[in-house]
């Protein structure tokens, strides 16, 4: 699975998106993140692992704590990826500019 696919898969879950919203205000420890959810610690830990695997968050260990922070460069890459979907491909742009010929016109 490529990096974009991992990121989009990670973003497909409501809980993971909620975790990312929490991290907009700055780094949090895994315990601080888990305390904001009713889910069990193993469930939140799994969500954090998915976010880490998608490079949407970075981690820093401080003693027993692991601090999570948004990896904004990946979000910039995803935005660029989405923008590219809105632009026609070179060939499609050329085809769009050419008049469409019907069979009657070709005869």
**Run means of pLDDT, 10 residues per run, the chain, 107 residues:** 83 96 96 95 96 95 93 84 79 58 59
pLDDT of residue 105: 58
pLDDT of residue 16: 97
Q: Which CATH code, of 1.10.3720.10, 1.10.10.10, 2.60.40.10, 3.40.30.10, is assigned to 3-106?
A: 1.10.10.10
Q: Which residues of 51-67 are buried (b: 16+ CB within 10 A; e: fewer)?
A: bbebebbbeeeeeeebb
pLDDT of residue 101: 62
Q: Which of 37, 15, 22 is nearest to 67 (CA)?
A: 22
Beta strands in 1-107 (DSSP E): 28-29, 57-62, 65-70
pLDDT of residue 4: 78
């Amino acid at each position: 699975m490529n990096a974009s696919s991992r990121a989009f898969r990670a973003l497909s879950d409501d809980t993971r998106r909620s975790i990312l919203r929490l991290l907009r205000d700055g780094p949090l420890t895994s315990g601080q993140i888990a305390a904001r959810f009713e889910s069990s610690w193993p469930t939140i830990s799994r969500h954090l692992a998915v976010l880490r695997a998608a490079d949407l968050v970075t981690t820093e260990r401080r003693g027993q704590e692991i601090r999570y922070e948004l990896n904004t460069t990946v979000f910039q890459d995803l935005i660029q990826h989405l923008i590219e979907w809105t632009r026609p491909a070179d060939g499609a742009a050329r085809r769009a500019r050419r008049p469409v010929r019907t069979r009657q016109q070709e005869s």
